Amino acid sequence: MPHRLAAPLSRRTLLRAGGAAVAATALGGTGLAASAAGALKAGSPAPKATTAPGDLVEIELVAKERMQRILPEPAAPSPLVTYADHFPGPIIRMRKGQRLRATLVNGLGEHTSIHWHGIRLTNAEDGVPYLTQPPTKPGERHVYEFTPPDAGSFFFHPHCNTVELLGRGLAGVLIVEEPDAPKVDADLVCLVKDWQLDKTGAFGAFFTDRGASRAGTFAGVSTVNGQIEPVIEVPANGDIRARLYNIDSTRVVDLRVEGADAWIIAVDGNPLPPRPLDGWPMGPAMRLDVLFRAPKQAGQTVRLTNVYAAEPRPLATFRAVGPTLPNRRFKVRGLPAGSIPEPDLKNAPVIPMAFSATAVAQSFDAATLVGLPYADSLCLSQKTFWAINQQSWPEGGHERLPPPLATLEKGRSYIFELANLTPHLHPVHIHGYTFKVLSSDARKVVPHHADTVLLEPKERLRVAIKADNPGDWMFHCHIIEHQDTGMMGYIRVA
Ligand SMILES: [Cu+2]
C-alpha cells in the first residue's frame, strides 16, 4: 500500500489496546473517568509524548466479543463486542500534530471496518466498507493512518451492522489535545450509553420494525462508561473538564451537572464561546466538552443528569476526593480557536437535503441477491423506511452504489438546507467535514461547528462547508436504525 510510507519518525508511542488503562498510561494518564486514580492523575504533568510533527501513536484494536458485567448479580456478565479488554476502551489520547497508526484486527465472525467519527481525514482512511475501502474480513487486519487536523473529542466505531455492534459496545474514544488548552485539574470522559439487556444479562433485539420506522428501539439500561450510576471521583475544588459523549444508538439526551456551575466549551470537539450547560440536546454521536468546578470538600457530590425526558434521570455522581485544592475564583476560559475552513457563504449554492420516510415501506428481497458475492453482507438491511432526497440506502447493495446525493466542486463552499419532513428527530452526520451551523426556521441557532446536528421534527436547518476534502463522504442520520433502513447517502467532492 503506497501511502503507508515508513517515514523517519522522531518518536513513537506504541501501545496495545489491552485496556483503557494501558492507553491512558501510555499517553500520559490524563482522564480515565472510571477510576479515582485516572481522574486524579489528570493534574499530573502533560503527556510525555512530544508534539513535534511526525510523532506517531500506534495502537492495535482487536475487535471481538468479550464478556463484561454491566448488570449487577445475579445477572451474568454480558457478551459485549469491544476493541479493548474492557468497555469503555481504548481511550486514545494524542496531541494535535501527532500521527495515528491504528491496526484493526478483525476477531469477529463478520466483516467490519473502523470509521473515525468527526475527523477531517483523507477519504481512504474513513472506514466505510465498499465506499472507501474493501471490508476487512474475519481474521484480516487493516491499517489506518492519519494526522487529525483538529483537536477535539472524537470517537470511532464500525460502519456496518452498526445496530448490533455498537449496541454491544463496539466504540472507542479518540481525544486530540489542544497544545495550549487552559489547565484543568481533571479531564474526564463520560460515555452515555443504554444497553439492550434483559435481567439475566443477555442482549435483546437491537432492531425492531416498530422502532426503526419511528424514533428507534430504546434500550433500558442507562450507563456512563458502562456502569449504572457510577460514582466518579474528582479532585475537591478542582476545575473539571468532562467530555460528555452520547454514544447511544437511539436516545437523545440533554445533560446537566446538577449542583455545579457547568459551561459548554466545545461541541463535537469544536470550541465555542463558553455558554452555560442549560439546554443543548445531544442526539446519538454528539459530544459536549463541559467545564465545571468540583465541590469544595471531600465527600460532597454533584450529579450528571439527563433532563430530556419528562422525569429527569440521574446518570452518574461526581464525588469530591482528596485535599481541597487552593481556593481561586472559578473562571471559565474558552479553548483555543479551531481551524475549520471558513465557507464563503456569499457564493455558496444551496443544496436541499430532505429527510423523509419512504412513501411505502419496502421489504428488501434478499433472494434477488443469492449468488452475488455480497449476498451475505450484513451491511444490507432487510427493510427500508427512510430516505434522503427520496433516495434510500442501499439500492441493491454496496457493490452497486447509488449515485451521490450531490457532487461538489472541490474548493467551493456549499450550504445544505437540511429539511426534516418527519415527526421524528434525526441527528445528521457528515463524514470528513465539520458543518458550520448557520440558521434554523424553528429556533435560534447558536453559531457553532459540529459534525452531527440534531434536526428537530419539521425543522429546516442550514449548515455550510467549504468542500476542500476530496472523496465520497457519507451523509446520514445517526439514529442507527434510521441509517440502516435507508436514511443514508453520500456526497462526492471532486
Ligand atoms: Cu434519523
Q: Are residues 153 and 32 in the same domain?
A: yes
- 193 and 162 within one domain: no
Same-domain check for residues 86 and 226:
no
Cα-to-centroid distance, 207 and ligand 1 (Å) = 14
Q: Is the pLDDT of residue 9 over 90?
A: no
Q: Are 275 and 367 found together in one domain?
A: no
Query: What is the rounded distance in angstroms from the CA atom of residue 423 to the CA atom of residue 465?
Result: 27
236 and 166 assigned to the same domain = no
Q: Could you give the CA distance from residue 67 to residue 87 in angstroms, rounded to a whole number? A: 10
Contact 361, 384 (CB under 8 A): yes
Q: 351 lies in a domain?
A: yes
Is the predicted pLDDT of residue 40 greater than 70, yes or no?
Answer: no
- Tens digit of pLDDT for each residue in 141-152? 999 999 999 999
Kindly give the distance from the C-alpha atom of residue 420 to the centroid of ligand 1, in angstroms, as a whole number. Answer: 9
Q: For the chain, how many structural domains are there in total?
A: 3
In this structure, the answer to whether residues 363 and 304 fall within a common structural domain is no
pLDDT at 30 over 70: no
Same domain, 150 and 240: no
Query: What percentage of the chain reaches a pLDDT higher than 90?
Result: 76
Tell me the pLDDT band of 379, cut-offs 50, 70 and 90: low
Contact indicator for 262, 111 with CB cutoff of 8 Å: no
**How are the residues of the chain apportioned to helix, strand and coil, as percentages rounded to the nearest 5?**
5, 40, 50
How much is the pLDDT for 7?
Answer: 31
Q: 45-49, 206-210, 214-218, 454-458: which range is least confident on average?
A: 45-49
Nearest-angstrom CA–CA distance, 436 and 99: 26
Q: Is residue 191 part of a domain?
A: yes
Q: Are residues 245 and 383 in the same domain?
A: no
For residue 276, is pLDDT > 90? yes
pLDDT-wise least confident of 32-41, 113-122, 139-148, 301-310: 32-41
The separation between the first and the last C-alpha atoms of the chain, rounded to the nearest angstrom, is 23
55 shares its domain with 162: yes
Burial category of 329 from C-beta neighbours within 10 Å (exposed 0-12, middle 13-18, buried 19 and up): exposed
Q: What is the pLDDT of residue 232?
A: 98
Residue 21, domain member (yes or no): yes
Give yes or no: residues 270 and 158 share one domain. Answer: no
Give the domain-ending residue among 160, 179, 198: 179
CA–centroid distance, residue 199 to ligand 1 (Å): 29
Distance 77 CA to ligand 1 centre (A): 31
Instruction: Kindly state whether residue 270 falls inside one of the protein's structural domains.
Output: yes
Query: Would you say the C-alpha torsion 389, 454, 194, 100 has a positive or negative sign?
Result: positive
Q: Does 336 fall in a domain?
A: no
Residues 253 and 232 sit within 8 Å (Cβ to Cβ) = no
DSSP secondary structure, 94-156, as one string: EETT-EEEEEEEE-SSS-B--EEET----GGGS--BTTTB--B-TT-EEEEEE--SS-EEEEE
Spacing, Cα 163 to ligand 1 middle (Å):
13
Q: Which residue has the higher pLDDT, 89 or 319?
A: 319
Helix (H, G, I), strand (E, B) or coil at 23: helix
Q: Is the pTM of this model over 0.95?
A: no
Distance 215 CA to ligand 1 centre (A): 7
Query: Average pLDDT for residues 273-295, to the nearest whole number?
Result: 97
> Measured in angstroms, how far is the CA atom of residue 455 from the centroid of ligand 1?
9
Other residues' Cβ atoms within 10 Å of the Cβ of residue 309: 11
Mean pLDDT of 202-214: 91
| Ligand 1 centroid, distance to 52 Cα (angstroms) | 41
Copy the grid coordinates of residue 310: 419528562
Cell numbers at 444, concatenated: 435560534
> What spacing in Å lies between the alpha carbon of 479 and ligand 1's midpoint?
5
CA of 488 from ligand 1 middle (Å) equals 9
- Both 390 and 243 in one domain: the answer is no
CA of 209 to the centre of ligand 1 (A): 14
Distance 478 CA to ligand 1 centre (A): 6
- In this structure, the strands spanning 56-68 and 78-82 are antiparallel
Residue type, 149: P
**DSSP structure class, residue 36:** H
CATH of the domain at 120: 2.60.40.420
Q: Does residue 382 lie in a domain region?
A: yes
Paired with 354 in beta bridges are 419
**pLDDT tens digit string along 326-371?**
988 999 999 999 999 999 999 999 999 999 998 655 554 433 433 3
- How far is the centre of ligand 1, averaged over its atoms, from the C-alpha of 443 (Å)? 19
Q: Whose CA is closest to 306, among 276, 281, 274?
A: 281
Q: Are 90 and 61 in contact (CB under 8 A)?
A: yes
- Domain contains 331: no
Same domain, residue pair 38 and 129: yes
Q: Which domain holds residue 120?
A: 12-179
